[in-house]
Amino acid sequence: MNFCNQCGEKVTLKIPQGDNMPRYVCGSCATIHYENPKIVAGCIPEWEDKVLLCKRAIEPRYGLWTLPAGFMENRESTTQAAMREAMEEAKADVEITSLYTVFNLIHINQVYMLFRSRLQNLDFGAGEESLEVALFEEKDIPWDQLAFPVVEQTLRYFFKDRAAGQFQARMGDFQDRQTLLSVSLLDALHTPE
């Protein structure tokens, strides 16, 4: 950030009085600009023993596969965002069934919230941000062509839980693109099949 969005003057990065974190502060109007992590909401669209994946038509990670997900908009809930992203990226009508994974991506200031969901029908297709969309059984998942480690981790938990017949919500922290620091179960959100 270079300029104040209140008065247009130059800002400086410093720790404001009474705070403990560096913030962009306007020297002219004294506005403190708080920057907070962005929430990414998405879902695992399920149909029988398959999941729906999208091949990305945008950067980052153009041409790789992912779950439908994206940044939340103002005035929508996380579940509304997940359903909107499924419609935008895969033209898929989904019903959200439960929260499944929450991952903090510390290195890029994002929080991923991925939900289990059911496809309402097989009327889906590539949206503007997707080259193609397809249903995959576990054995056919393009594991070496997944766009993001958080998606790979979520899918690995999903298929492990499905095999066990019991789904457990999880949360964890990625320190960098590849390093998953820790994972814990969200027992209160446990959803047996």
pLDDT in tens, the chain (193 residues): 999 999 999 999 999 999 999 999 999 999 999 999 999 999 999 999 999 999 999 999 999 999 999 999 999 999 999 999 999 999 999 999 999 999 999 999 999 999 999 999 999 999 999 999 999 999 999 999 999 999 999 999 999 999 999 999 999 999 888 888 878 887 544 444 4
| Other Cβ atoms within 10 Å of 36 Cβ, number | 7
Can you say whether residue 165 is alpha, beta or left, with left for phi > 0 and alpha for psi between -120 and 50 degrees? left
Domain count, the chain: 2
Is position 184 within any domain? no
1 and 16, same domain (yes or no): yes
What pLDDT was estimated at residue 185?
85
DSSP 21: S
Q: Residue 36 has what pLDDT?
A: 93
At 183 the pLDDT is 87
**Residues in contact with 89: Cβ distance below 8 Å, sequence separation at least 6, in sequence order:** 54, 68, 69, 70, 127, 129, 130, 133
Same-domain check for residues 78 and 24:
no
